[in-house]
């Protein structure tokens, strides 16, 4: 059986996203959720960078790719406020992960009644 990547950190991130969703509701703007998630990261001493340019990572040749949060140098977090997550959203996260040489990304769509954070894995070598 495969080992779960960063279980404690991803669980904590998901919990804070649930908290932001409960506080704001499902009809906020993406910036409102990002602001609240960032406040919760700071309050919980979770190292992160917001609006992170993937190209800042030395191993990345990618230009112009920006992810909502780069958390503890391990997880990319992309926040959405759409009716549903599309294949393009998954492909975008795959591109981010490959460019950043990371293995785990989370996509969280705040528009839904109940949050269903998506774990995206990159199996690059």
pLDDT (tens digit per residue) in 40-89 = 999 999 999 999 988 777 565 656 788 999 999 999 999 999 999 999 99
- Percent of all residues in the chain with a pLDDT value above 70, rounded to a whole number: 90
* Residue 125 burial by Cβ neighbours in a 10 Å radius (0-12, 13-18, 19+): exposed
Maximal C-alpha separation, the chain: 40
Q: φ, ψ for residue 48 (rounded to 5)?
A: -160, 165
For the full predicted model, state whether its pTM sits above 0.75: yes
Strands (E), the chain: 48-53, 66-71, 75-80, 104-109, 118-121
**Segment holding 42, helix H or strand E:** helix 30-43
CATH architecture of 7-121: 3-Layer(aba) Sandwich (3.40)
Q: Could you say which DSSP state residue 44 is in?
A: T
Please give the pLDDT value at position 125: 46
């Amino acid at each position: 059986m495969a080992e779960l990547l960063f279980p404690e950190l991803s669980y904590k991130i998901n919990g804070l996203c649930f908290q932001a969703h409960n506080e704001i509701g499902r009809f906020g703007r993406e910036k409102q959720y990002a602001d609240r998630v960032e406040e919760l990261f700071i309050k919980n001493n979770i190292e992160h960078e917001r609006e992170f340019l993937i190209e800042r990572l030395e191993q990345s040749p990618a230009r112009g790719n920006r992810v909502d949060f780069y958390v503890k140098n391990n997880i990319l977090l992309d926040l959405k406020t759409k009716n549903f997550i599309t294949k393009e959203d998954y492909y975008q996260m795959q591109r981010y992960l490959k460019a950043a040489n990371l293995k785990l990304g989370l996509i969280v769509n705040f528009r839904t009644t109940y949050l269903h954070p998506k774990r995206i894995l990159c199996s690059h070598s």
